[in-house]
């Protein structure tokens, strides 16, 4: 299967804000996921050491569907740290792939992917042997309502670096944007952290204004506040 680089995938879905008020009347869309970069927030479940330090990161996502087949689509995840290593370890897969269990959402407006194949890369470091980095995703539950068509999701992640392993509960939000702005200080442009930026409209991709967000302090990524389905009152 030929995939595109995680950080060059284009937008498949428009914003859902205009659909929020009439979600009950809208027919459920086919199972899908926002095509491009997602911001993933991690909550540690178990593990210690270097593997237990994840807080948030970007992840490329895309689906593949055979038109007219009636078959569920496949889902592809490309974690940001592995995407940055693409082409340097061709012996291992940089993407994780699996299949949705159905073409359309369930009565609970959920699209499920039980498991993805392992994504793995040997990532070089300044000194010593490269780090063997592995992502194993499972229990992916993508929101499939008309108001949240593939733009919020949860999953379980088992993450490994060499001999250490940690497990996480992951919450994804599409698109992935930074809570940063540029201001002039002493004649120089300075990038500053600003949580309010997450809710601002942008000329290209914007986070749906109906989605509550937080500004992750470790990465300055706009992440979802709460568990999907999460909408402002």
Give residue-wise pLDDT tens across range 159-184.
999 999 999 999 999 999 999 988 88
As a whole number, the mean pLDDT across the chain is: 89
Check pLDDT > 90 for residue 128: no
Instruction: State pLDDT tens for residues 199-214.
Output: 988 888 899 999 999 9
Check pLDDT > 60 for residue 230: yes
- Report d(CA 223, CA 228) in Å as an integer: 12
Residue 110: closest CA among 174, 155, 177, 59: 155
Instruction: State pLDDT tens for residues 212-223.
Output: 999 999 999 999
- Alpha carbon of 37 to those of 51, 52, 69: distances in Å? 22, 23, 27
End-to-end Cα separation, the chain, in angstroms: 42
Per-residue confidence (pLDDT) for residue 217, from 0 to 100? 94
| In the chain, where the domains are located | 27-176
User: Taking the CB of residue 81, how many other CB atoms lie within 10 A of it?
Assistant: 17
Per-residue confidence (pLDDT) for residue 111, from 0 to 100? 98
User: Taking the CB of residue 22, how many other CB atoms lie within 10 A of it?
Assistant: 10
Is 66 buried (19+), middle (13-18) or exposed (0-12) by CB count in 10 A? exposed
* 122 CB-near residues (< 8 Å, 6+ apart): 88, 89, 91, 92, 130, 131, 132, 133
8 Å CB contact between 197 and 216? no
Instruction: State pLDDT tens for residues 181-203.
Output: 888 888 888 889 999 999 988 88
């Amino acid at each position: 299967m030929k995939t595109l680089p995680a950080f060059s995938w284009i937008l498949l879905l428009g914003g859902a804000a205009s659909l929020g008020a009439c979600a009950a009347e809208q027919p459920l869309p086919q199972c899908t996921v926002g095509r491009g970069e997602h911001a993933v927030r991690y909550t540690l479940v178990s593990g210690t050491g270097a593997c237990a330090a994840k807080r948030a990161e970007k992840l490329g996502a895309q689906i593949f569907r055979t038109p007219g087949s009636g078959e569920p689509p496949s889902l592809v995840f490309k974690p940001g740290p592995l995407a940055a290593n693409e082409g340097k370890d061709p012996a291992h897969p940089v993407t994780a792939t699996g299949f949705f269990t159905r073409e359309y959402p369930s009565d609970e407006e959920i699209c499920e992917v039980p498991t993805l194949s392992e994504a793995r890369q040997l990532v070089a470091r300044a000194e010593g042997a490269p780090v063997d980095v592995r992502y194993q995703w499972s229990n992916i539950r993508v929101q499939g309502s008309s108001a949240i068509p593939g733009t919020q999701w949860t999953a379980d992640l088992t993450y490994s670096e060499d001999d250490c392993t940690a497990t996480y509960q992951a919450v994804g939000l599409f698109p992935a944007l930074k809570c940063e702005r540029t201001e002039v200080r002493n004649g120089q442009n300075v990038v500053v952290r600003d949580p309010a930026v997450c809710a601002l409209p942008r000329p290209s991709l914007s986070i749906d204004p109906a989605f509550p967000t937080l500004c992750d302090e470790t990465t300055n990524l706009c992440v979802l506040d709460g568990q999907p389905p999460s909408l402002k009152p």
